Amino acid sequence: MQACRRPITTFRSVVDVLESRGMVQATTSRALKEHLAMPGEASSTPHQHIKRTIYSGVDPSAPSLHVGNLLPLVALLHCAIYGHKALVLIGGATGAIGDPSGRSSERSALGTDQLTSNVTTIRAQIFQFFHNAAAYLSRRNILHAEPVLFGSCNQQSWENECLFQTALDIQLVNNLDWFRDIKMLDFLSSVGRYVRVNDMMARDSVKSRLFPSEGGPATTGLSFTEFSYQLMQAYDYCYLHERMGCSVQLGGSDQMGNIMAGIDLIRRQRAAHVQNDKMSDLSMRADPAYGLTLPLLMTSSGVKFGKSAGNAVWISPALLSDLDFYQYFVRSADADVERYLTSLTFMPLEEIKQVMILHSQDRSKRVAQICLANEMTELVRGPDALRRAQLATKVLFDTDVNALTLEQILYAFEGDPRLVRLTETQTMDLLRLAAEIGLVSSRSEARRLVQQGSSGLYVNNVPVKDVQAKLEPEHLLNGQFFVMRAGKSNHKIVVLEPK
């Protein structure tokens, strides 16, 4: 089955698509829009537009991707939909150093075992993300093909590891493959001779650490290891440019310095061999490489997108349940939700406008937030995870849960620590029960919640008003389970099993 390589759109270039969705912070050249026009379209030159290769890097410094990593992946997906080739680079080598961009202090060094584990986990997550995304796009008639994952691969080298056979041209690479055996003298002679220290010192990631602004955060200076990071990322771009014809790098707004370092290296190496340049592609003669940065997604309150109470909102279901992932988007502020729908989902812009009109009629219903949560959970976690999250949301927040079955409860909270199993012989005093299942820290805390009334202790979303209350038969839904809540969002789903 062939992919739909020509999406129904009025845009000639994928850059137009990204701009229409607020996903472009800056570009290194105005020629990029023409460079990334849809393959096969007529050009302003005598040549047809051709398929390009675009890459973006992923830092394996954490044990999982988080939702803050999604914007570059979504941008690459737009490029692949437009018929270009997308490369996802995992920094198996650069992850040992850590990118100093946007940091006031050096990252803690990762051990080899931890870095290897992170790379393996994130690699699997990227596979799963694009697998889910291709199916998501197919269901929406954006891409008419089912994803085909390659089941086997060479663990030592990922250079030929394509994620999809027909639906999307997306490939995964690991820069450890080319850094593993490179010798220092070779690196200095092939890369160092083309790089100027003045240019390196002018990068924001360096200046902000060496010369912090007055009133800004204190810094610890910059180690030579961190200073060298931009050389390694520049070499990544140069390597992919030479070996795989990669001509565009995508990155966050804090990556422009590193991207320019790569473009400068490519240009200088190219100038040194200009007499051998036989390239027929005129746009590549003028500008051999380009960069595009994406805006840093922030909440309206100034918190970096992807953080919840200071913690990352993980992509991994092992670190964050489907319900909590879903609820992160349900809790989006009204001031943020339209921007998230536009930049993170593939909903048509006109459809988003209609959702926002409906949302404005009664903001308390959170129509736009629920739409966002539905789209993001299906895109990232898949349709089964979405059904589970929707069902779990009904269990926890609807007052009418009597129609739910035990099978639905177990399905919705599979692997979720909120699910607790008790035998009938255990205590049925509600306050003591709340403490025993870990809903509250003690019976006295449960008593205080009951006595304070609002935002207190609940059974099946009905407030407990008596400190002597016991679990009664009418509390049991289908005679088998009930839901306890302390405060606004602390829940336990209790399944009562026969002794």
Whether 286 and 378 map to the same domain: the answer is: no
In tens, the pLDDT along 8-31 reads 556 789 999 999 999 999 999 999
The pLDDT value recorded for residue 158 is: 47
Whether 273 and 205 map to the same domain: the answer is: yes
Tally the residues of the chain. Answer: 499
Query: Given a cut of 60, is residue 44 above it in pLDDT?
Result: no
Whether 253 and 105 map to the same domain: the answer is: yes
pLDDT band at 106 (very low <50, low <70, confident <90, very high): low
The pLDDT value recorded for residue 149 is: 46
pLDDT band at 309 (very low <50, low <70, confident <90, very high): low
Asked if 78 contacts 72 with a C-beta cutoff of 8 angstroms, the reply is: no
Residue 149 resides in a domain: yes
Whether 128 and 276 map to the same domain: the answer is: yes
Residue 80 resides in a domain: yes
Whether 189 and 326 map to the same domain: the answer is: no
pLDDT band at 162 (very low <50, low <70, confident <90, very high): low
pLDDT band at 277 (very low <50, low <70, confident <90, very high): low
Residue 126 resides in a domain: yes
Number of domains in the chain: 3
- Mean pLDDT value across residues 28-54: 79
Asked if 462 contacts 446 with a C-beta cutoff of 8 angstroms, the reply is: no
Whether 329 and 231 map to the same domain: the answer is: no
Full-model pTM: 0.86
The pLDDT value recorded for residue 401 is: 74
Whether 241 and 266 map to the same domain: the answer is: yes
CATH number at residue 330: 1.10.240.10
Residue 409 resides in a domain: no
The pLDDT value recorded for residue 5 is: 45
Highest-confidence range of 158-167, 268-277, 361-370, by mean pLDDT? Answer: 361-370
- Mean pLDDT value across residues 382-410: 89
The pLDDT value recorded for residue 278 is: 52
CATH number at residue 424: 3.10.290.10
Whether 132 and 210 map to the same domain: the answer is: yes
Burial class (CB within 10 angstroms; exposed 0-12, middle 13-18, buried 19+) of 197: exposed
Residue 404 resides in a domain: no
Highest-confidence range of 36-40, 220-224, 324-328, by mean pLDDT? Answer: 324-328
Whether 326 and 432 map to the same domain: the answer is: no
Tell which of 235, 265, 293 closes a domain: 293
- Mean pLDDT value across residues 317-333: 95
Tell which of 329, 363, 397 closes a domain: 397
The pLDDT value recorded for residue 312 is: 85
* Average pLDDT of the chain to the nearest whole number: 85
Query: Given a cut of 80, is residue 385 above it in pLDDT?
Result: yes
Question: Alpha-carbon distance 477 to 499, whole Å?
Answer: 18
Within 13 Å of residue 364, how many CA atoms lie on the same side as its CB? Answer: 0
The pLDDT value recorded for residue 208 is: 72
pLDDT band at 450 (very low <50, low <70, confident <90, very high): very high
Residue 103 resides in a domain: yes
- Mean pLDDT value across residues 309-318: 85
Query: Given a cut of 80, is residue 434 above it in pLDDT?
Result: yes
- Residue 195's domain comprises 14-40+47-293
- In percent, how much of the chain has pLDDT > 70? 82
Residue 410 resides in a domain: no
pLDDT band at 1 (very low <50, low <70, confident <90, very high): very low
In tens, the pLDDT along 457-480 reads 999 888 999 999 999 888 888 888
CATH number at residue 260: 3.40.50.620
- Mean pLDDT value across residues 72-79: 97
Whether 284 and 312 map to the same domain: the answer is: no
Asked if 195 contacts 265 with a C-beta cutoff of 8 angstroms, the reply is: yes
The pLDDT value recorded for residue 224 is: 82
Residue 341 resides in a domain: yes
Whether 177 and 275 map to the same domain: the answer is: yes
Query: Given a cut of 70, is residue 161 above it in pLDDT?
Result: no
Query: Given a cut of 60, is residue 421 above it in pLDDT?
Result: yes
- Mean pLDDT value across residues 478-493: 91
The pLDDT value recorded for residue 6 is: 47
The pLDDT value recorded for residue 39 is: 82
- Mean pLDDT value across residues 446-456: 85
Which is more confidently placed, 229 or 53? 53
Whether 108 and 232 map to the same domain: the answer is: yes
